[in-house]
Amino acid sequence: MTVILNQSFTGISIGAVLLLIALGLTLTFGQMGVINMAHGEFIMAGAYTTYVLQESISSAGVSLLVALPVAFLVAGAMGALLEWLLIRRLYTRPLDTLLVTWGVSLMLQQLARDIFGAPNVQTRAPDILTGNIAVADGISLANSRLFILGLALLSVLALTLVLRFTPLGRRIRAVVQNRDLAEVSGIATGTVDRMTFFIGSGLAGVAGVAITLVGPIGPTTGTNYIVDAFLVVVVGGIGQLKGSVITAFVLGVLQSVLEYSTTVSVAKVIVLVAIVAFLQWRPQGLYTLRTRSLA
């Protein structure tokens, strides 16, 4: 029982990382229909932002706190630039967005190798996040993973508040539900698309900061997570935030428990088979987007 509880908490922390990554995809892929394969490189940008800041700020705790908003701005700016240069011409061609952004991701990976080198690098975790909290006999919770969980939940809350209670959020929802009607109503859909991409990419940068607490980072850091994050968005329901939250934690716990009883490879195969079976039964995912569109 103790082992199961420990593995379940590890799975929750894995789910928190997936959720942080999937939050951005929920906007760019789920709501905008853009298959952004460069999303993983925005995660990498956030991770390397933390590394660069630690090189100039001696205190690991201060550098981590500074890295969160800076990584959001850096990755968000990269996403907004990508949208302005390429994506805005491809909104009705999702497969083209996949090919174009895949090429961009390869370019960004090579750029990271040229700047930081091919080997992975390690960042320092603040002292307060290096220990464990014992909650019961044989059960302990890593401080770093608790921080990631809190960061993920805080990001969900912030995104929910923005989408529901701000003018930008109302414009985003209007464009998602009916772009043509939003345009004739006076909404600058191009600006809304760019801001949506900025927020989604910025959240990927925040996820990159969290990943530095899990292990070393390198040019392919984002690639290791991007497929699982796409699965979270698809299974949760395209563009559905609550579906992504539930799916991220379920997949994280399921994978962690299976890895303990089998192997990493076998666990991934079982999870993938379970996802395929679920989508055969419910292809729209856990939740669907309700619109007034007749199309």
Per-residue tokens: 241: 């935030």
Structural domains of the chain, count: 1
pLDDT-above-70 percentage for the chain:
95
Averaged confidence pLDDT in the chain: 86
Domain with 63 in it: what CATH number? Answer: 1.10.3470
* CB 187 within 8 Å of CB 77: no
User: What are the tens digits of pLDDT across the range 246-260?
Assistant: 999 998 888 888 888
**From the CA atom positions of the chain, what is the Rg in Å?**
19
Alpha helices in the chain (DSSP H): 2-25, 39-56, 60-85, 94-116, 143-165, 167-177, 179-184, 189-211, 223-236, 241-261, 264-281
Q: Which two tokens stand for residue 130?
A: 């290096």
- Asked if the structure places residue 277 within a domain, the reply is yes
pLDDT tens by residue, 129-168: 887 887 766 677 788 888 999 999 999 999 999 988 999 8
Residue with tokens 């229909």: 33
CB neighbours of 2 closer than 8 A, spacing ≥ 6? 136, 137, 138, 139
Q: Which residues pair with 224 in a beta bridge?
A: none
Residue 290 placed within a domain: no
Query: Is residue 275 one of the residues assigned to a domain?
Result: yes
Range of the domain at 72: 2-281
**How far apart, in whole angstroms, are the C-alpha atoms of residue 19 and residue 143?**
18
The pLDDT value given to residue 138:
67
The answer as to whether 230 is a domain residue is: yes
Q: Is residue 98 situated within a structural domain? A: yes
